[in-house]
Amino acid sequence: MSGPRGPQCPLGKLQRSPMNVEVEKRNGWRRHGILVISEDDHRLTWPERELVRQLGMRLYGRHGRADHD
């Protein structure tokens, strides 16, 4: 016997395949000038991550993650 099966719903066939988040971020920037950046993005240097954190706090306030102040 195999493991549990998910629900068998005809709407499941209409569900899109999983989104490639990095592609969507790139498209948002190129099409609309919208930038989505995680303050933990490993591609950024420490000063760049700190700038992202400060901008986020200035525009939106503190986030609810417990691992950052």
Could you tell me the pLDDT band of residue 1, with boundaries at 50, 70 and 90? low
Please, which contacts does 47-51 make with residues 24 or more away whose CB atoms are closer than 8 Å?
Answer: none
51 within some domain: yes
Tens digits of per-residue pLDDT, 8-65? 777 777 777 888 999 999 999 999 999 999 999 999 999 999 999 999 999 999 988 7
Residue 31 inside a domain? The answer is no
Q: Name the domain count of the chain.
A: 1
Does residue 30 lie in a domain region?
no
Q: What is the pTM of this model?
A: 0.64
Indicate whether 46 belongs to any domain.
yes
Residue 53 lies in a domain: yes
In a domain, 69, yes or no: no
Token pair 């986030």: residue: 63
